[in-house]
Structure 1
């Protein structure tokens, strides 16, 4: 028998009507696309898969993903849009035009009061190498892996102050035990 999920109060059996549903992307609002795109493409090697502009509403969407080198992405814009919305684990950066020119403008990071959104998480193959890479790229830390009670987990900030959790899966086998 295959694993079908942990059971806790409130967990219900998935209805057949929801078969095939999947989480496609998470969206963050960003102030300056040039700064945010540089961060995510340089520091995390993410690729911009699709940009969609909505001129009448004054905003742009950037869909980013961490892809395998041999992954085939459609060249045609329409086909790539469909392909993008079929993926898992993408990051959508939403830029409301003009915010980059407002010196006092910022988005709520979800971790200051009132708390809400917490963080995104990136799994890395080697946490020590990732920390050295972040240090070389002057990344801002919330928590280094050796700090606090939760060891082997780091938290950094992106250009808009959103928290990014950094983990190496192999180090987490005893987490929560």
Structure 2
């Protein structure tokens, strides 16, 4: 890793100084929303914050989270975009009736990119035993592979759900059950240095943990908008995990699948704050054509939001915390 920033050398003030910034949600496309919503409610105890149909574009959005106190908008609706740990399920109408339709889960060649979402729990062994008894499929059980302290469950579309335990004797609080958390979203990145500069300098995230695995030749970087004092990073929500497989940065032809090109699956993460217009304007002014936009702020069909792209082409939605669907 280089010691000097060379890709995005200026830390954006609007991001560095905005205490309202948070990783709000992660979007994945699903074939059958009724099936997926039931799965996350029944097996993980998530609650449906709200849904929205878009008839002109023939898709629907469904927002789930673990039970928590969520603020209200001026209209009295749950403040979906003002909290962290939200899972957005996007349904393109008709996919549930197409026997050939499959989502890309991001873990199969040649379309690897997005890896998984991660739920952290107080007692992983107990959680895994319950899920198996309920008939949930697993990609990896705790007994499989080298790492015995994690597991990977599978949702109805084949997306991987990592399960980790946040109560650890070797780390700080929490020491008791504080409920299940939507801890992080993992994406693979080609050039760790470039991606770290983007997420830290452009979007204002902080590197909260790094895990190097020399035997398997990969490194994990965990970023967030802050960890409350006395808590470990696996016990909070709104974390982004970047996975770097060593050597990809030196291959000019190497590219990860961003989830939005065919075949589709993963959609984006979403960053929310009180005034995204200020943030987006400063990014545009500082970096110009170094930054790629899917949609600039307030310029798309859906107003009051933007989609920025990271160095690998993954989309990041930027919205106001009080956005009403």
Q: Give the TM interval when normalised to the shorter protein.
A: 0.7 to 0.9
Number of equivalences: 166
Structure 2 gaps of 5+ residues are 172-209, 213-325
Task: Determine the structure 1 residue equivalent to 2:46.
Answer: 46
Which one of the candidate residues 98, 105, 112 is aligned to 2:108? Answer: 112
TM-score, L = length of structure 2:
0.47
- How many angstroms does 1:128 deviate by? 1.2
Superposition RMSD on alpha carbons, in Å?
A: 2.5
- How many angstroms does 1:79 deviate by? 3.5
Decide whether the 8 Å contact of 2:150 with 2:162 is kept in 1. yes
Decide whether the 8 Å contact of 1:152 with 1:171 is kept in 2. no
Matched, 1:162 2:159: yes
- How many angstroms does 1:16 deviate by? 2.6
- How many angstroms does 1:136 deviate by? 1.4
Decide whether the 8 Å contact of 2:151 with 2:164 is kept in 1. yes
| C-alpha distance in 1 between matches for 2:94 and 2:147 | 39
- How many angstroms does 1:124 deviate by? 0.7
| C-alpha distance in 2 between matches for 1:116 and 1:156 | 18
Task: Determine the structure 2 residue equivalent to 1:153.
Answer: 150
Decide whether the 8 Å contact of 2:71 with 2:82 is kept in 1. no
* Secondary structure at the counterpart of residue 80 of structure 1: coil
Task: Determine the structure 1 residue equivalent to 2:97.
Answer: 101
Structure 1 gaps of 5+ residues are 1-7
Q: Compared with structure 1, are the counterparts of its residues 95 and 172 closer, same or farther at alpha carbon in structure 2 (3 Å cutoff)? A: farther
Q: Compared with structure 1, are the counterparts of its residues 46 and 172 closer, same or farther at alpha carbon in structure 2 (3 Å cutoff)? A: farther
- How many angstroms does 1:145 deviate by? 1.1
| C-alpha distance in 2 between matches for 1:27 and 1:176 | 25
Higher percent of residues as strand: 2
* Secondary structure at the counterpart of residue 79 of structure 1: coil
Matched, 1:21 2:21: yes
